[in-house]
Amino acid sequence: MRNIAGILLLLTACVGPKRLSHPSASVGGFTTWQTGHDAQTVQRIPATGTNALVQRGDSTWMQVKFNVREYGEVSFPLANTPPDVEAPGVDLSGSRTIRITYKANQAFLVQLRQTGVHGGIQNHIELPASAQRTTVTVPFTQFTGGLKPLDLSDVAKFNFAFLSNNVAAGYAELVVYNVVIDHYTAP
């Protein structure tokens, strides 16, 4: 019996989902998906580190799970800069929409951050929880609520943020399968 358990553990380790550090792994061409949260929020997935990309076979997706106190988030820089580098500005003025394929147990915010702006109130939309994989296309004109109007000629990154848990589950979880920005290809 002990041998069977050992074999099952070995198989799970070999074929189960893996956190990625390979630079060519991406969701929608975006290679850097980093988590962040306040000191009281507990990050459950990824269990360690801040890299939220997961791979199984030929499939790659982004997955986060938090026990949210104030906020839990994941972000990707439009220019695919490494996690320890300030995201430079990108011009999305030729783009009109973002298409996101996701599954979430809790409503969440999608913020489009201006270059060099940290914290505070960003232009954003709210996407609903969806128990099944769903795809939404959102015009950038719907990103509102920031301290200044959205300037698509100088944006740096997208944040996906939870501000609360799913009440029944006691946590907030998001899986992103794809992101497409029309007329833009990640470098």
Phi, psi (rounded to 5 degrees) for 8:
-65, -40
In this prediction, residue 151 carries a pLDDT of 96
In this prediction, residue 4 carries a pLDDT of 47
Q: pTM of the entire structure?
A: 0.87
Pairing mode, strands 34-37 and 72-77: antiparallel
Q: Burial-class residue 113 by CB neighbours within 10 Å (0-12, 13-18, 19+).
A: buried
Structure confidence by residue, pLDDT tens digits, 132-184: 999 999 999 999 999 889 999 999 999 999 999 999 999 999 999 999 999 99
Structure confidence by residue, pLDDT tens digits, 103-129: 999 999 999 999 888 777 899 999 999
In this prediction, residue 150 carries a pLDDT of 94
- CB crowding 47-81: b at 16 or more within 10 Å, else e: eeeebbbbeeeeebbbbbbbbbeebbbbbbbbbeb
Going along the chain from its start, the domains and CATH numbers come out as 18-181 (2.60.120.430)
User: What's the whole-number average pLDDT of the chain?
Assistant: 89
- Give dist(CA 61, CA 59) in Å, integer: 7
- Give dist(CA 154, CA 150) in Å, integer: 9
Q: How many CB atoms are located within 10 Å of the residue 167 CB? A: 7
- Establish whether the linkage from the previous residue to 88 is cis, with ω within 30° of 0: no
